[in-house]
Structure 1
Amino acid sequence: MGHFRAFVVTLLALDMVVFVVGAYLTPPDPFTQLLLIGPALLLAPAVAWWLVYRDGFAQIQALFEPDDES
Structure 2
Amino acid sequence: MGDFRAFVVTLLALDAVIFVVGSFLAPPDPFLQLLLVGPALLLAPAVSWWLVYRDGFVRVQALFEPDDE
TM-score w.r.t. length of structure 1: 0.96
Alignment match, 1:61: 61
Alignment match, 2:9: 9
Tell me, what secondary structure is at the counterpart of 1:28? Answer: coil
Structure 2: 5+ residue runs without aligned partners? none
CA deviations on 1:9-52 (whole Å, 9 max, x unpaired) are: 00000000000000010111011101110000000000000000
Displacement after TM superposition at 1:68 (Å) = 1.2
Alignment match, 1:46: 46
Alignment match, 2:24: 24
Aligned-residue sequence identity (percent) comes to 83
Q: For 2:48, give the aligned amino acid.
A: A
Structure 1: 5+ residue runs without aligned partners? none
Aligned length: 69
**CA distance, structure 2, for counterparts of residue 6 and residue 68 of structure 1:** 30
TM-score w.r.t. length of structure 2: 0.98
Runs of 4+ in 1 over 3 A off after TM superposition: none
Q: Alpha carbon RMSD of aligned pairs, Å?
A: 0.5
